[in-house]
Structure 1
Amino acid sequence: MRILVLNPNTTASMTAKIGAAARRAAAPGTEILALNPAHGPASIEGYYDEAISLAGLLGVIRDNPDVDGVVIACFDDTGLDAARCLTDKPVVGIGEAAYHMASMIANRFSVVTTLARSVPALEHNLHRYGLWARCARVRSSEVAVLELEEPGSDASTRISAEIARAIADDRAEAIVLGCAGMTDLAGRLSADHGIPVLDGVSCAVALCESLVRLGLRTSRLGGYAPVPPHKLA
């Protein structure tokens, strides 16, 4: 099995970190192809960044048709619907995957994300996925995405403090980390706080593998109908 794990931003160090997390989560025999577009935003923090990342994201998917599934490694689930129109292989967003898994192991979960400008998009997705009632709150740690790549940054300390507030104030029973760049923090933060802390990259890889093994593909009826050939030219 070969899974494309696609970071929609252009920061190669983040792509490498995401790829390493994906390989740790993958079952033996699963090959992880971790890529990012050559052009687009260095980070995705809000609606504008999402919009300008779409051409590069879809181009990477078009250029790699020989994979068995795709993981979109941006917590906003950037381009998820468009990607599902482009291929009938399973396409899993790390936000959607983490929300669903959190709802299976806790009554209430909170999301700890990066900047406040990202909160409305995540709240919108939770409503769309039918999981808003299970989410206590979407919290901003006010950590910029690229701070997660800076050696010596106090980003993890600030994220940990926000998790502590979520447990105390939201009565959260699990935490979803709301950025692919946080993927390497989940294990330590879970141990520090004594509750499940979910990394969307790992969740999405596991779900994508399951869909592939079950032989499930994206429906081509309705909204995910294939893109007409003349629009791909």
Structure 2
Amino acid sequence: MGAIKKFNPYRVDGIVKIKIVIPVNTIAFNELILSAAKSVASSSTYIEIENITEGSPFIENKYHSALNAPAVIELIQKAEQDGFDAVYVCDMDMCGVDAARTQVNIPVQGGFSTSIPQAVSFGRFSIISIVDGAEEMQREFACRFGGRENLVSIRHTGLHVHELTRPDLVFDRAYLTTLKAIEEDKAQAIVFGCSGFVDMAERIVKKLAIERNGLYVPIIDPNRVAILSLELQVKTGLCHKYHTQALEEK
């Protein structure tokens, strides 16, 4: 491993290297997530993916998040040492993200930290999640990242993480839950509250338009939004570390 790299503000050329950290102890989602990330990344962006190899194979509550966080932080630190410019922790529960930001000199994002600001820009929004055990964390993050006034509901598909490898089931549940959020909660935008809803946003948008007379409601795909946000942060010199250093010095 190389030396810890110094963050390079206002980088406008060259390859941007992003590491995706999967914060669960399974490889089941790696290829799907990597494919989704590459589909929106710039041609000059290099992406690698790696999952933790200890802890829980899923995160459905605060206990799972706390259990897996140390291994996630370790992978983030290793990514910086290996020369990556940014890290996306592919998780809506921000597993290990806050702690890692104080230890590295590169930007680190989770799912909600980039998705909620996007949703707020459209008005009232709903979060479409998995099981209800994750709701408390998700409501906290929605408020933290500016969505307190605009969050109209958190709806659950009832799916457990191990079921997310069944794309037809995920699509059907996500579509029906999204439709309820729009029709019953009057949501003007949807945030997928699970990064395992891979490649579902565009399909659901199209189905809504077909089945609901041209209805369009924006659906935020956390994986794609996070990758593009990190590209922007690297190229414009934005990083969390300096903020935490300043706080520590006071």
Secondary structure, counterpart of 2:105 in structure 1:
coil
**Alpha-carbon distance in structure 2 between the residues aligned to 1:103 and 1:116:** 23
Higher helix share: 1
Point out where structure 1 has 5 or more consecutive residues left out of the alignment: 227-233
Change (3 A) 1:223 1:58: same
Which of residues 158, 162, 166 is equivalent to 1:142? Answer: 158
The C-alpha deviation readout for 1:164-219, integer Å capped at 9, x for no partner, is 10001110111111111102211101111232111101011111000000022224
| Counterpart in the other structure of 2:97 | 80
Instruction: Report how far residue 224 of structure 1 moved.
Output: 7.6
Larger Cα Rg: Structure 1 or Structure 2?
2
Change (3 A) 1:109 1:133: same
Change (3 A) 1:91 1:17: same
Secondary structure, counterpart of 1:45 in structure 2:
coil
Q: % of aligned pairs identical?
A: 26
1:91 to 2:108 alignment: yes
| Counterpart in the other structure of 1:68 | 85
Q: Structure 2 length as normaliser, TM-score?
A: 0.85
Which of residues 220, 226, 235 is equivalent to 1:198? Answer: 220
**Which moves more between the two structures, 136-145 or 213-222?**
213-222
| Counterpart in the other structure of 2:128 | 112
| Counterpart in the other structure of 1:127 | 143
The C-alpha deviation readout for 1:40-92, integer Å capped at 9, x for no partner, is 21111011110111111011112222100011110111111111012120111
Check conservation: 1:84, 1:224, Cα contact below 8 A.
Answer: no
The C-alpha deviation readout for 1:109-159, integer Å capped at 9, x for no partner, is 1010000000110001112223111111111111111101136x5232112
Point out where structure 2 has 5 or more consecutive residues left out of the alignment: 1-15, 209-215
The count of corresponding residues between Structure 1 and Structure 2 is 224
**Alpha-carbon distance in structure 2 between the residues aligned to 1:221 and 1:77:** 18
Which of residues 228, 231, 245 is equivalent to 1:209? Answer: 231
**Alpha-carbon distance in structure 2 between the residues aligned to 1:168 and 1:179:** 21
